[in-house]
């Protein structure tokens, strides 16, 4: 059973076709990275999968047509970590992570013991237990990133969507977060779809890469097949060298 399947998915925003007939399938436990230059449609594709933007074509989530899945049930299957999460003022880390339980709690009901246990587990797994009572807006960028990730974990969804999970982090924190995601993927058998800016990291962590340009899928496969000098030059307009899977920019010859 595929975890996620896109069949000719197109999204138009303000009259412009941002995602164009994108098809792909993701197996359970797989990590798929969406790469491509700015404006390629990576984030929009993620938003379509999360049901946050109208699309043509079909998306299947764990065998079911996503359009036929109620919003709340969809949130039990898909957790999204946005690129720049909106940080609410004056709430604690624990209160924030507890929001991840929303799709599991009735409209007027309150969280029960299992919800609080899920939050404790998520805080534990991201080493946030000591921060539980701290105010979220007093945390550093990397700690907030982990808090948002904990919220997504508390959501207990088999599919995890990450929009540029490392964009605001330094090199060490980038590696840390991606290692955490990889460990969680193994522990909880999560399926991960992430957009990635850093091609080297995308190649190191994802099982498979999809290269988008102008909303279209232009290449897909393992890192060695997609991260080639020719493809990157063509679609990013960048002069690079690819050395042992690392994509290194070089200055164009004068």
Partner 1 sequence: MIRSAGARLWLPAALVFLAAALLAGVLVGPVHLGAVNVVRGTFAHLFGLHSPLSGADDAILWDLRLPRVILAAIVGGTLAVAGASYQGVFRNPLADPYLLGAAAGAGLGATLVVSYAPASAITKDLLPLAAFAGAGVAVIAAYVLGRSAGATAGSAALVLAGVTITSFFTALQTFVQQQNVDTVQEIYSWLLGRLATSGWRDVGIVLPYAAVAWAVLIAHRRMLDVLAVGDEEAAALGVNVARVRLLVVVAATVATAAAVAVAGLIGFVGIIVPHTIRLLAGGSYRLLLPLSVIVGAGFLVFADVIARTVMAPAELPIGVVTMFFGAPFFAVVLRTSRRTA
Kindly list the residues in this chain that would bind partner 1 in the complex (CB under 8 A).
47, 50-52, 71-76, 78-80, 82, 85-86, 88-92, 95-96, 99-100, 102-103, 105, 107-108, 110, 135, 155
Distances, alpha carbon 223 to alpha carbons 96, 124, 189, 249, in Å? 36, 32, 22, 17
> Least distance in Å: CB of 50 to partner 1?
5
> Least distance in Å: CB of 122 to partner 1?
14
Q: Are strands 4-13 and 16-26 parallel, antiparallel or unpaired?
A: antiparallel
Task: State both tokens at 249.
Answer: 């920019």
> Least distance in Å: CB of 225 to partner 1?
32
> Least distance in Å: CB of 136 to partner 1?
10
Contact 31, 207 (CB under 8 A): yes
* Alpha-carbon gap, residue 179 to 172, rounded angstroms: 11
Secondary structure of 25-90 as H, E, C letters: EECCCCEEEEECCCCCCHHHHHHHHCCCCCCEEEEEECCEEHHHCCHHHHHHHEEEECCCCCCCCC
* Nearer of residues 157 and 199 to partner 1, judged by Cβ: 157
* Nearer of residues 63 and 71 to partner 1, judged by Cβ: 71
Task: List residues bridging with 159 in a β-sheet.
Answer: 78, 191
Q: What is the DSSP letter of 111?
A: -
* Nearer of residues 42 and 235 to partner 1, judged by Cβ: 42
* Nearer of residues 55 and 96 to partner 1, judged by Cβ: 96
* Nearer of residues 59 and 223 to partner 1, judged by Cβ: 59
* Nearer of residues 108 and 243 to partner 1, judged by Cβ: 108
């Amino acid at each position: 059973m595929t975890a996620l399947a896109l069949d000719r998915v197109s999204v138009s925003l303000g009259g412009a076709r941002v995602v164009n007939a994108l098809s792909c399938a993701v197996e359970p436990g797989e990590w798929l990275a969406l790469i491509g230059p700015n404006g390629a449609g990576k984030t929009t594709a993620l938003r379509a999968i999360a049901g946050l933007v109208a699309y043509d074509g079909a998306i299947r989530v764990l065998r079911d047509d996503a359009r036929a899945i109620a919003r709340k049930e969809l949130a039990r299957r898909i957790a999204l970590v946005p690129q720049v999460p909106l940080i609410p003022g004056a709430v604690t880390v624990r209160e924030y992570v507890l929001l991840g339980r929303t799709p599991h709690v009735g409209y007027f009901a309150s969280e029960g013991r299992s919800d609080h246990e899920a939050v404790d587990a998520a805080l534990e797994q991201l080493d946030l237990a000591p921060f539980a009572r701290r105010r979220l807006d007093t945390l550093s960028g990397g700690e907030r990133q982990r808090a948002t990730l904990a919220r997504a974990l508390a959501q207990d969804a088999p599919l995890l969507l990450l929009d540029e999970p490392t964009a605001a982090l330094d090199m060490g924190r980038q590696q840390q977060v991606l290692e955490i995601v990889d460990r969680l993927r193994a522990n909880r058998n999560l399926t991960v779809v992430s957009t990635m800016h850093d091609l080297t990291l995308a190649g190191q962590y994802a099982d498979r890469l999809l290269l988008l340009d102008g909303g279209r899928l232009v290449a897909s496969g393992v890192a060695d097949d997609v991260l080639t000098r020719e493809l990157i030059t063509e679609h990013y307009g960048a002069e690079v060298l690819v050395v042992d899977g690392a994509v290194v920019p070089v200055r164009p010859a004068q």
